[in-house]
Amino acid sequence: MHPSYPRLFALGLGMALTATGFAQTAAPAAASGSATGGRANRPPPAPPVIPALQPWDRPAEGPALFTEDFESGAISDKIWSVIVNPPATATVQSDLVAHGKYALKITYPAGSTRDYAFIAMTVPDALKNHFYGRAYMYISGVPDPHSVFMSAGTTGFPTRANWLEIGGYTGHFQPSLQITNPTTDIPRGEVPAFQGTLPIGRWFCLEFEFIDQPDRIAIWVDGKLDVNIPFTYNKITNPDVKKDSGLIGAFSEFALGYRTFAQGALIPKDINIYYDDIAIGDKPIGQLTPVPAAK
């Protein structure tokens, strides 16, 4: 349990502590109100179905084509677009870092609902269909419902775009396909999946692979494969359109930050997500020096 979410506070509100470091409101004994029920009366998220982790080949590591360690002390507007729906914020700070003197901090304030803060960059042409990446992350705690950390997709995220996403749900990673800029052949919708374990309250090395042909997300945590999910989009009915490849079209934009679909009542404390030592390339990039546990 993260120290900023005390057990007595949770129990006093009739909440149960979860693996995500936050308290989840207990399910009511019976629904009340309208036939559909209000948000306050909805039960906690259902336990996800976790597919078995399948092996995945990882080629030899190579140099990154892009790196960002925030050692300039600021978010460079020559590289990054800042995408914020206040009061969430994206800042560079020096209080908590993995390496060096600075790291990115995303703050999602207590009680907020449907806000977000991301920074996004243009994906190099050589990586439009397939790229690897690395980021050191520290997650203070997240509520159980769907959280979003990273995306690779078309421009317009997180409102009107198509993307592959790394998120979280009830203590697991939630890799997903998101279609919010539909066409006649590829209608609006999503394909979520659940796998692996979301580390909370410590620095960890997140390595990832985004593939659009065919569509897949793989994730390694501290060098160990934790997620390997291919995507099939069964809403496609045109027999001439593939259901499992080219669903994004090309990766134009890579974004990282935070948003959650939890209601504000489930967020009693600020959510802080830290990113450091970001890199992407056409080969796995590998880890840096392990971060001491005390940091």
Mean pLDDT by 10 residues, the chain (295 residues): 33 44 42 36 69 96 98 98 98 98 98 96 98 98 96 96 97 97 97 97 98 98 98 98 98 98 96 98 97 83
pLDDT of 157 reads 97
pLDDT of 112 reads 96
pLDDT of 31 reads 33
Q: Which helix (H) or strand (E) holds 10?
A: helix 7-12
- Domain annotation covers residue 12: no
Would you say 275 and 150 are in contact if contact means Cβ atoms under 8 Å apart?
A: no
- Domain annotation covers residue 292: no
Number of domains in the chain: 1
- Domain annotation covers residue 188: yes
Ranges of beta strands (E only) in 34-188 are 66-68, 81-85, 89-93, 103-108, 116-122, 130-139, 147-153, 162-169, 172-179
Half-sphere exposure of 270 (CA within 13 A, CB side): 11
Q: Give the CATH number, domain containing residue 174.
A: 2.60.120.200
pLDDT of 34 reads 34
The radius of gyration computed from the CA coordinates of the chain, to the nearest angstrom, equals 19
Range of the domain at 163: 62-281
- Domain annotation covers residue 120: yes
- Domain annotation covers residue 26: no
Gap between the Cα atoms of 190 and 51, Å rounded = 18
pLDDT of 45 reads 59
pLDDT of 22 reads 64
pLDDT of 17 reads 42
- Domain annotation covers residue 180: yes
- Domain annotation covers residue 263: yes
- Domain annotation covers residue 220: yes
pLDDT 10s digits, 157-183:
999 999 999 999 999 999 999 999 999
